[in-house]
């Protein structure tokens, strides 16, 4: 693939493992959808509990539940449980805690708090059935990513998204599980193709910051790409919904602060994303598109394709070009994408 310079960082290797990880995770979890359906039978709402990359996955879950499963969903504030130690009536709530390691104490404590407040509980983790989070939940979805050695999460993130897609199906979202099963092949095709990252890498290496924007389901991928660029490239990267971006922060986009805009190839948010790209370039700034088909590519300064996936699964594919871009940019800047300064795989919050 053009732009990777023949390097074999751990991050790049783990990006390449994602089709196999997704297949194994989907094959493992889809047959268990009935367990979650039974668990959630008396619930009406979904509460997601997570931090960091897992919190970005939870954003995807929130949009998925509300857009397709017909359930109100929200993101928890763990400090309500761990710091304020408040009591909240969570009867009728399915609490879903996400942690790649399954060992983040704050997330485990918050899930236990949710159960004490009346919620039914589901864990999504790559850490295994014996981790504290899996043990704290009534049902545990264990993803099949295997050990992730690079600090920036890649395969564990997309595995979480796949688990959330199974959750939507379990909650009777009128979606096609066959489309989910086809997702690994679509990502495999992208990874095997000729994706030239170099022009965007060279241009991003010259700027101090970037805005990353998407809306709806794509918003989760935008948040995750912004996080990756901060972690591995030390860029001042701001992840925003394009609706929020237009409410003032658009002013930060200029010749020194380009925008990366992300969208599925079709869906209700594509037209607005195209218009945002046109507004960015019209203001004299650079706009880099990821996904969005020919319409977004035509509106941007440069663009990268994403796997051809339906909108409900698009974030699983949209993040992959972003991961590749992050890894290539880090190496271009002389940084080690596997070991960003000041970070570790498991973060404990006071």
Question: Quick check: is 155 catalytic?
Answer: no
Stated as kind and residue range, the H or E segment containing 188 is helix 183-192
CA 161 to each of CA 65, 141, 156, 201, 328: distance values in angstroms, whole numbers, following the listed order: 12, 12, 9, 26, 23
List strand residue ranges (DSSP E) for 182-227, in order. Answer: 209-214
Alpha-carbon gap, residue 148 to 152, rounded angstroms: 9
Residues 6+ apart with CB under 8 A from 251: none
Catalytically annotated residue among 155, 278, 339, 345: 345
Contact 108, 74 (CB under 8 A): no
User: What order do you get walking across the sheet with 120-125 strand by strand?
Assistant: 72-75, 45-49, 93-99, 120-125, 139-142
| C-beta atoms surrounding 298 within 10 Å | 13
Report, as residue numbers or ranges, the catalytic residues.
345
């Amino acid at each position: 693939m053009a732009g990777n310079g023949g390097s074999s960082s751990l991050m790049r290797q783990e990006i390449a493992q994602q089709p196999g990880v997704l297949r194994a995770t989907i094959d493992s979890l889809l047959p268990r959808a009935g367990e979650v359906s039974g668990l959630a039978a008396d619930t009406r709402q979904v509460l997601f509990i997570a931090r960091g990359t897992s919190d970005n996955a939870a954003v995807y879950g929130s949009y998925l539940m509300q857009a397709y499963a017909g359930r109100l969903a929200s993101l928890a504030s763990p400090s309500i449980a761990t710091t304020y130690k408040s009591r909240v009536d969570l009867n009728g709530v399915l609490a879903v805690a996400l942690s790649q390691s399954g060992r983040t104490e704050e997330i485990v404590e918050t899930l236990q708090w949710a159960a004490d407040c009346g919620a039914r509980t589901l864990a999504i983790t790559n850490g295994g059935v014996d981790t504290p989070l899996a043990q704290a939940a009534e049902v545990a979805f264990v993803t099949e990513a295997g050990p992730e050695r690079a600090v920036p999460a890649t395969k564990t993130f997309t595995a979480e998204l796949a688990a959330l897609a199974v959750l939507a199906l379990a909650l009777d979202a009128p979606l096609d599980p066959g489309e989910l099963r086809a997702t690994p092949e679509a990502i495999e095709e992208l990874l095997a193709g000729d994706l030239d990252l170099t022009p965007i890498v060279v241009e991003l290496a010259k700027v101090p910051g970037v805005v990353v924007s998407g809306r709806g389901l794509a918003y989760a991928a935008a948040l995750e790409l912004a996080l990756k660029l901060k972690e591995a490239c030390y860029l001042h990267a701001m992840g925003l919904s394009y609706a929020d971006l237009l409410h003032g922060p658009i002013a930060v986009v200029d010749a020194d602060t380009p925008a990366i805009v992300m969208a599925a190839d079709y869906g209700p948010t594509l037209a607005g994303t195209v218009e945002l790209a046109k507004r960015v370039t019209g203001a004299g700034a650079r706009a880099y598109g990821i996904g969005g088909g020919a319409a977004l590519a035509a509106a941007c300064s440069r663009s990268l394709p994403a796997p051809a996936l339906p909108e409900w699964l698009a974030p699983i594919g949209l993040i992959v070009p972003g991961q590749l871009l992050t890894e290539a940019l880090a190496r271009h800047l002389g940084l080690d994408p596997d070991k960003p300064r000041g970070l570790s795989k498991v973060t404990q919050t006071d």
